[in-house]
């Protein structure tokens, strides 16, 4: 909810972690995928080039590569989601036309990118650091976004806003020029946030804030669209261009947003919301989920521990009876993320068995800063029950 509490530092003052935006050149755009397109363009990626992308990915990472005229080559990830450096070397040996590598800090845990940075430097290849899950954090004294030539963020995954992404660089000057998307868009961005806080029950509102692919935000946008432009009018035809695509509604890429600035409302929210509170509360919620579920039969946290320098996006759990448990959780109304459940066509076990397995088995639970203690407790009980019931059916 967009309650006033979200704007105060409150009692959650904890360890401050650097944000993606600290000390970097920044461009606030309307989505993470648009920022990927800008990063690749800044690296000079074009027709005939290849871009290495993790086989475990969000499908929204691929269309920006195609928009540049380049093709994607997938590389493997390890069971802990880290990039498989040996496989990256093998792909580079096979494909001399690789111009850039994309690497993702999955679920908010910063990876050690020093070896990959060194490899890219040695080969003269650009590095795009995908911090969509990692708006805050550091590893070995390096802030997230500090290793890539360019880094991108998906602000919606961390802030209570309906559009927003960022392109940042601590290594190069940014020359992308942005323009306002116009008063209709500005009004919509603000209205959507108010609509979320007033018209919906708490859990649906949370789903929107989590940017989950549950159509909740699409419903909000559609409701607004319908309210402003009756079907068949010129306004209705223009409406799609007033709502940028992002992970909740689809994986598509609309190049009309490439030079559009994020809304005033979103930019203000990024500035006003307490970053320390987001980090502290997300970490606390994650650790509570970990503590409550780590020894529950039928599941295992994907990460053995939460590193000090991490601010999690969600809490990923490896679940044995994944589909049965997911069905029960969906039925109970627990918001979850099945990251990687749909991979880009052609990415199967022959490309990377680990990615397919992660996509099938991970159920990620929210650790959003806006969660209440009672909701967290309810979620834990419901997950335990779903695991238990699914184990019984299996037995
Ligand atoms: C969500 C996501 C993106 C794209 O972000 P949007 O803001 O939805 O465009 C990129 N990479 C990863 C890993 C993501 O999860």
Cα–Cα distance measured from residue 65 to residue 176, given in angstroms and rounded to the nearest whole number: 17
Q: 31-79: per-residue pLDDT in tens?
A: 999 999 999 999 999 999 999 999 999 999 999 999 999 999 999 999 9
The domain that contains 41 carries what CATH number? 3.40.640.10
Q: Which CATH number fits the domain that encloses residue 367?
A: 3.90.1150.10
303 & 335 share domain: yes
Domain assignment present for residue 174? The answer is no
Instruction: Let me know whether 114 and 187 are in one domain.
Output: no
Asked if 156 and 116 sit in the same domain, the reply is yes
**Residue 355 sits in which domain range?**
4-10+274-394
Which of 37, 58, 63 has the most ligand 1 atoms within 8 A of CB, as the residue to mutate? Answer: 58
- Pocket perturbation via mutation, ligand 1, pick of 61, 104, 159, 213 by most ligand atoms within 8 A of CB: 61
139, 207: one domain: no
Q: What are 340-386's pLDDT values in tens digits? A: 999 999 999 999 999 999 999 999 999 998 888 888 999 999 999 99
Residues near ligand 1 (Cβ within 6 A): 31-33, 58, 60-61, 104, 130, 132-133, 154, 156, 165, 246-247
Query: Which is the closest atom of ligand 1 to the Cα of 165?
Result: 7
Same domain, 154 and 47: yes
Per the DSSP assignment, residues forming a β-bridge with 371 are none
Residue 189 is assigned to a structural domain of this protein: yes
In a domain? residue 50: yes
Q: Is 295 part of any domain? A: yes
Rounded distance from Cα 393 to ligand 1 centre (Å): 36
Alpha-helical runs (H) found in the chain = 32-42, 63-67, 85-94, 114-123, 183-199, 202-209, 216-228, 234-238, 264-272, 275-293, 322-332, 349-361, 373-394
Rounded to whole angstroms, the Cα distance separating 145 from 166 reads 11
pTM of the model: 0.87
How high does pLDDT run on average in the chain?
86
Q: Are residues 285 and 366 in the same domain?
A: yes
Model confidence band, residue 16 (pLDDT cutoffs 50, 70, 90): confident
Total count of domains within the chain? 3
Contacts of 65 by beta carbon, 8 Å cutoff, 6+ apart: 36, 40, 45, 51, 53, 71, 72
What is the Å distance from ligand 1's center to 151 Cα?
Answer: 12
The dihedral through the CA atoms of 80, 85, 90, 93 has a sign that is positive
User: Does the pLDDT value for residue 198 go beyond 60?
Assistant: no
- Does one domain contain both 149 and 217? no
């Amino acid at each position: 909810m967009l309650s006033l509490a979200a704007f105060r530092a409150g009692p959650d003052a904890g360890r401050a972690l650097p944000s993606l935006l600290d000390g970097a050149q920044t461009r606030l755009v309307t989505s993470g995928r648009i920022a990927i397109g800008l990063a690749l363009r800044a690296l000079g990626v074009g027709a005939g080039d290849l871009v290495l992308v993790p086989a475990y990915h969000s499908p929204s990472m691929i269309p920006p590569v195609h928009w540049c005229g380049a093709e994607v080559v997938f590389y493997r990830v390890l069971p802990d989601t880290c990039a498989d450096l040996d496989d990256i070397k093998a792909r580079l040996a096979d494909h001399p036309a690789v111009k850039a590598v994309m690497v993702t800090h999955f679920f908010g845990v910063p990876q050690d990118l020093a070896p990959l940075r060194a490899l890219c430097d040695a080969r003269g290849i650009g590095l795009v650091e995908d911090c969509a899950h990692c708006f805050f954090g550091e590893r070995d004294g390096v802030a997230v976004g500090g290793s890539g030539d360019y880094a991108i963020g998906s602000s919606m995954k961390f802030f209570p806003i309906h559009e927003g992404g960022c392109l940042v660089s601590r290594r190069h000057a940014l020359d992308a020029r942005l323009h306002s998307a116009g008063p209709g868009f500005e009004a919509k961005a603000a209205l959507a946030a108010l609509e979320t806080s007033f018209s919906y029950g708490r859990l649906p509102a949370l789903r929107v804030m989590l940017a989950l692919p549950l159509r909740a935000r699409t419903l909000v946008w559609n409701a607004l669209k319908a309210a402003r432009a009756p079907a068949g009018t010129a306004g209705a035809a223009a409406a799609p261009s007033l709502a940028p695509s992002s992970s909740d509604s689809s994986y598509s890429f609309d190049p009309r947003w490439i030079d559009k600035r994020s809304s005033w409302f979103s930019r203000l929210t990024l500035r006003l919301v307490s970053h320390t509170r987001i980090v502290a509360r997300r970490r606390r919620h994650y650790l509570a989920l970990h503590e409550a579920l780590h020894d529950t039969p039928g599941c295992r946290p994907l990460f053995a521990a939460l590193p000090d320098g991490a601010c999690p996006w969600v809490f990923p759990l490896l679940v044995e009876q994944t589909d049965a448990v997911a069905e029960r959780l969906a039925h109970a109304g627990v918001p979850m993320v099945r990251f990687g459940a749909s991979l880009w066509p052609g990415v199967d076990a022959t490309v990377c068995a680990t990615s397919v397995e992660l996509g099938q088995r991970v159920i990620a639970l929210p650790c959003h800063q806006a969660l209440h203690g009672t909701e967290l407790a309810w979620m834990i009980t419901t997950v335990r029950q779903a695991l238990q019931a699914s184990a019984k059916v299996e037995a």
